[in-house]
Structure 1
Amino acid sequence: MDFVASGRAGGMAEQIIVAFEGEGSGVDDLSWGQLDLWMAMRRQNSWLPLGGAVALPAGTSLADVVENLRYLMSRYQPMRTRLRFDADGRPSQVVSSSGEIALDVVDAGDDDPAQIAEAMRRRYEETEYDFVTQWPLRMGVVVRAGLPTHLVIIMCHLVADGSGAALMIAELDARETAPIKGMQPLEQARWQRSPAGVRQNQAALRYWERLLRTIPARRFAGSDDRRQPRHWRGEFRSLALQLATQAIADRAGMDASPVLMAVYAMALHRMTGINPVVFRPTVNNRFRPGLADVVCTVAESGLCALDVAGVPFPEALTRTRQAAMASYKHAYFHPVDVDDLIARVAQERGPDFDIGCFYNDRRITTRAGSAGPTPTSAQIRDALSGSQTTFRWTIRQDDPFERLFVHIDDVADAVQITVFMDTHFVSPGDAEAFLYGIEEIAVEAALELVPHPS
């Protein structure tokens, strides 16, 4: 291992230079998934870093950490991908077959290793990323008395979407050596220019244009509490919501994803008064040929319109499943073509037209319903009344989010909803009421479906 000394606040630091070599190289257009993420990064003025700091298992050696970094860089083409820009600023993907990357090693000394790791995480996330010259992964390890205690990994979202990241972690843990599966981004870009790719894009554009010309022009009624900083993020956790959605999914014999989407749509209608509700669900696109097991970003935001005004929950759920299937089918497209279409329709329909409402269900462990018995009505009521629902505002910033973006995640014994919003369109009070409304609607629907004990 080659060590390079460097100065770092919070402890003595060195760098280990790690060489890597893997299959595949070349230059091509960005794939549709990459381009969709690139455009989101431009809108939000962020390179959308992913990752965090974790404590390492006892017995982990520095050599283990080095080999894990080498494995990631060697196995996955997106880890070896940088960007190239033409004279008009149009990006291309540049995949290298080999190279070197630095692993930061920080000796905590007498300081708390967890605090050193957290400081490293913040530094990695807050330091600007050079898409042209830097690899899209930043990795560091905190050591005490020569033994690694914490690992910090931050990567650019262009490397992988949520499903791709989960697959990458599983393969790293297993040290998978089987050949890489699925179409890599270079191959995806070639397919997307093929006759089959052109047909897929044209079908998606027809679907989008039909909806864009018929949906209500506005997504939000407007905010009466505009704040500065303008863009806020909040975090909501609810055990009752988890139990209620699991109970409904179990009783209906389906995946929990459409259950929560139906609840979300009904709460959105309650908040805005606008019908049908229109939002952009994140679609992982891994049901498509060649994309199921690929580590990269293939997810795109579809378009879904749902008429849920005044209908009972079972009917809303049926409508959600039907509308979601149509949205998923047409959520694989050239993002520039869709953006151009949106701009043309918006110019015709007036300045109030927007579709800046997003929904991203990132759950993995709870999407298939409960692993054990169906939650009972008593359990749901106990969770609702037992102060096991929490909400807090976490970030206020000037850099933009979308007008409303909701992420759904697995956490221990709860569903977590992270809401990002523009307070000029959704007030803090409305956003908080919206989140509690999601819980309320789910609980009411579950208690109607789940038998009461006699």
Structure 2
Amino acid sequence: MERIIVPFKGDGAGTGELTWGQQQVWRAMVEVGTSMSMGGVVPVTDGRTVEDFAQELRFFMSRYPSMRTLLRIAPDGATTQETVAEGEAFLEVYSAPSADAAAALAADVHAGWRARNFEYTREWPIRVAVVRTADAVTHVIVMVCHIAADAGGLGVMIRELGQRDAIGAQSAPGHLELVEAQRAAARTTDTAMRYWETQLHAIEPQRFAGRTEPAGDRFRQLVWRSPALHLASERLAALLSVDAAPVLLAAYGVAFARVTGREGPFATQVIVSNRFRPGLADLVTPLAQNGFVVFDPRGASAAEAVARARQASMRASKYAYYAPEPRLALIDRVARERGEPLDLAVFYNERRLALRPPTDPPAPDAIRAARAATELVRETPLPFFNEKLMVNVDVVPDTVQLTTEVDTAYIGAPDVRRLLQEMEDFTVAAALDPAVRAV
């Protein structure tokens, strides 16, 4: 391996606190002990050279202040950040004797990076490497630390990389300006906390019956795939004139009640991107924060359950932008007032973006035929999981893929598999019901 020095220069230098999104991400990173990094290996088929990738890295470093930012961690754990105006990054270059060897080498580099946390106080939060043979560059490997960007930010970087000739040397707006704007936004936090307090008083304190001692690996990940759930959610969304997101959220709430038998409204934290807010769409910094969805599917028709989930999701998104510390203090206070801890460790993460109401709903026969393809793709142990249940809707075409992390001390893996199947059963039954219409 050799390293190519990539000098960079940009605007937005300074020091400051972490943004609200960064504070939430940093807390999670510390809890789980990982950099929660994003990225992967991409084959190179367009003839780009090592120098081309060095120029792309220079663009990222110069354009986005978050890519040239280091954390400053005080002895008491207080964390701030420093963005520099100029410096040097490194492009790693690996050589392989053949195309097959290059693919294996790229996978090894990526695996090694995933196993090694970023050094937050002295390593730039982006790693880039290329693998080449004697003939050409065959693969590029990119990894970005979550403290510097979220999935939406990566999308901005990819889009603007294709526009860099027009952008030139101009730096993007930085996260330190956002810190200042958020410091002046106390009213935004106060309004969000009033919503959260109302919901915290409306729910049952506990989500599960209790804790048991699991027989095997306590923390597990299940990846489950259902083309039928995809088709049924599209059909039901078309019948109800909504997009498919609230359909799956309603299915989650209904299935959770069926499996756990818990009384009271369904409550789950959701990941809200916040990029719909004015001025935030193109920032490369973590903007996602937790929203709180509460709705009651009991006694509701399928159409009513979807409507309630949709309304609850919209309210949760509206109040998912706030300073994190007041929310933590609020949760503690409400728990004291209610006389027991509040279990908020159930999560839902809709990763698909810009969903729209379907215009051509799938036919009933296609939904029925697709049920045979439902499968548990894999079930593997996790080294650690800091919540109790999290269902992620992955970005996979022509199917619904749900990646679920679970603490089996609270809900066993068989019950998780049943929950996922119940989501499909609810949605398919509603999609095939001739009486279903928008409420």
Change (3 A) 1:305 1:148: same
- Mapped pair 1:137 → 2:122: no
1:323 CA drift (Å): 1.4
**1:184 aligns to 2:174 (yes or no):** yes
- Report the alpha carbon displacement of residue 307 of structure 1 after superposing the two structures with TM: 0.4
Match of 1:431 among 391, 416, 422: 416
Q: Which position in structure 2 is the counterpart of 1:391? A: 376
Residue number in structure 2 paired with 1:52: 40
SS in 2 for 1:343: helix
* Contact persistence 1:105–1:142 (CA under 8 A): yes
- What is the CA deviation profile of residues 260-316 of structure 1, one whole-angstrom value per residue up to 9, with x for unaligned ones? 211111112222222211101111112212112222211101111110012111001
Q: Report deviation, 1:363.
A: 0.7
Structure 1 counterpart SS, 2:27: helix
Residue 235 of structure 2: which of 244, 247, 259 is its match? 247
Of 27-36 and 175-184, deviating more is 175-184
2:409 equivalent to 1:420: no
Decide which moves more: 81-90 or 375-384: 81-90
Paired residue for 2:289?
A: 300
Task: Give distance in 2, aligned partners of 1:312 and 1:214.
Answer: 22
Structure 2 counterpart SS, 1:411: coil
Q: Counterpart of 1:279 in structure 2: which amino acid?
A: T
Aligned length: 433
Q: TM-score, normalised by structure 1?
A: 0.90
Instruction: Answer yes or no: is 1:277 the counterpart of 2:274.
Output: no
Cα deviation for residue 401 of structure 1 reads 3.4
**Correspondent of 1:34 among 18, 22, 40:** 22
- d(CA) in 2 for partners of 1:448 and 1:74? 55
- 2:312 pairs with one of 310, 319, 323: 323
CA distance in 2, matches of 1:16, 1:52: 20
Which deviations, in whole Å up to 9, do the C-alpha atoms of 1:232-272 show, x marking residues without a partner?
A: 11111111111111112222222222222111111122222
Q: 2:140 maps to which residue?
A: 151
Q: Do the aligned residues in 2 keep the contact of 1:223 with 1:427 (CA within 8 Å)?
A: no
Does 2:421 correspond to 1:445?
no
Once the two structures are TM-superposed, the CA of residue 182 in structure 1 deviates from its matched residue by 8.2
Length-normalised TM-score, structure 2 = 0.93
Counterpart of 2:417, as a letter, is E
**Given the alignment of the two structures, is residue 109 of structure 1 paired with residue 94 of structure 2, yes or no?**
no
Offset of residue 218 of structure 1: 0.6
Q: Provide the C-alpha distance between the structure 2 equivalents of 1:424 and 1:412, rounded to a whole number of angstroms.
A: 33
Q: Is the 8 A contact 1:224 1:427 kept in 2?
A: no
Distance in 1 between the 2:192 and 2:171 partners?
26
Deviations 1:384-420 (A, max 9, x none): 13xx222144431332332111111121321211101
Of the structure 1 ranges 67-76 and 102-111, higher mean CA displacement relative to structure 2 is found in 102-111
Measure the CA separation in 2 of the matches of 1:49 and 1:113: 23
Task: Report the equivalent of 1:374.
Answer: 361
Q: Distance in 1 between matches of 2:126 and 2:137?
A: 19
Name the SS of the counterpart of 2:11 in structure 1: coil
2:63 equivalent to 1:63 = no
Query: Any stretches of 5+ residues in structure 2 without a counterpart?
Result: none
- Give how far 1:223 is off: 5.8
The residue identity in structure 2 corresponding to 1:165 is L
Q: How far 1:350 moved relative to its partner? A: 4.6
Structure 2 CA distance, aligned partners of 1:146 and 1:19?
27
Q: Percent identity?
A: 37
Report the Cα distance in structure 1 between the residues aligned to 2:140 and 2:104, rounded to whole angstroms.
Answer: 12
Displacement of 1:222 in angstroms is 3.7
Cα contact 2:240–2:303 (8 A) shared by 1: no
Amino acid at match of 2:285: C
Q: Distance in 1 between matches of 2:265 and 2:296?
A: 4
- The runs of 5 or more residues in structure 1 that have no matched partner are 1-12
Q: How far apart, in 2, do the equivalents of 1:406 and 1:168 lie?
A: 27
Q: Aligned residue for 2:346?
A: 357
Are positions 1:164 and 2:153 aligned together? yes
Paired residue for 1:4?
none
Cα deviation, residue 348, structure 1: 4.2
Structure 1 residue 221: Cα displacement: 2.4
Q: For residues 130 and 69 of structure 1, what CA distance do their matches in structure 2 show?
A: 19
**Residues 16, 108 of structure 1: alpha-carbon distance in 2 compared, 3 angstrom cutoff:** same
TM-align CA RMSD: 2.1
1:217 aligns with 2:201: no
Whichever residue aligns with residue 259 of structure 1, its letter is V
Question: Offset of 1:211 from its aligned partner?
Answer: 1.7
Query: Is the contact made by 1:139 and 1:151 (CA closer than 8 Å) also made in structure 2?
Result: yes
Mapping of 1:80-95 within 5 angstroms?
A: 80-95=68-83
For 1:149 and 1:417, the matched residues in 2 are separated by: 32
Give the conservation status (yes or no) of the 8 Å contact 1:34–1:298. yes
Residues 329 and 182 (structure 1), Cα distance of their counterparts in 2 relative to 1, 3 Å cut = farther
**Are the aligned partners of 2:346 and 2:387 in contact in 1 as well (CA < 8 Å)?**
yes
Q: Distance in 2 between matches of 1:182 and 1:107?
A: 34
Per the alignment, residue 84 of structure 2 pairs with 96
The question of whether the paired residues in 1 share the 8 Å contact of 2:125 and 2:145 is answered with yes
CA distance in 2, matches of 1:28, 1:227: 47
Q: Name 1:3's counterpart in structure 2.
A: none
CA gap of 1:449–1:338, structure 2 versus 1, over 3 A, is farther
- 1:403–1:181: structure 2 CA closer, same or farther, 3 Å change rule? farther
CA shift, 1:176, in A, is 6.2
Alignment correspondent of 2:326 = 337
Contact kept in structure 1, 2:6 and 2:88, CA below 8 Å: yes
User: 2: CA distance between counterparts of 1:54 and 1:73?
Assistant: 20
